[in-house]
Amino acid sequence: MMFSLHRSRQEDSDLIDMSKDTPAIMDDRKNHKVQELQGQVNEVTHLLQENVEKVLERGDKIDTLQQRSEDLESGSIQFKKKSKDLRNKMCCHNAKMTIILIAVIAVILIVVIIIVLVTLKPWNSSSDTPHGGNFTSNYKQIYDSV
């Protein structure tokens, strides 16, 4: 097989026709590529817009969360103060009730002692007592009778 260096006229005319069609094909390919790239740019732009919206929403949510946490903090400080005041108030109330209870028990004991002393009259002589004898024997007699 031999290759000829000469081209035929038909081949030349085909090449000329192809060269005429080539810019049109190239333009179509370029347009298609440009449209494809434009579509990708539009898609990326859309994604970026969605991301910006999400970031803004997160910022709003963070602001809301921060406000809630500040409200909780101030509420906890107030609760701590009020609970401390209430604890002190209840401590004072318990101390007053304890003092009153001790006073009532002391009064009851004093009344019982006075009643026993008046009944037994240990300061009188043993002959003057209704049961005779001293305080210990009188106490034993009362205890035995019960």
Number of other residues whose CB lies within 10 A of the CB of residue 138:
19
Domain ranges within the chain, ordered by starting residue: 9-145
Query: Which pLDDT score, from 0 to 100, does residue 129 have?
Result: 47
pTM to 2 decimal places:
0.43
Q: In this predicted model, what pLDDT tens digit does every residue of 43-56 receive, in sequence order?
A: 999 999 999 999 99
Q: Please name the residue that has the structure tokens 């205890």.
A: 143
- Measure the N-to-C terminal CA separation of the chain; round to a whole number of Å: 152
Query: Which pLDDT score, from 0 to 100, does residue 1 have?
Result: 44
Q: In this predicted model, what pLDDT tens digit does every residue of 106-119 receive, in sequence order?
A: 999 999 999 998 88
C-alpha pair distances (Å), 111 with each of 10, 30, 121: 146, 118, 15
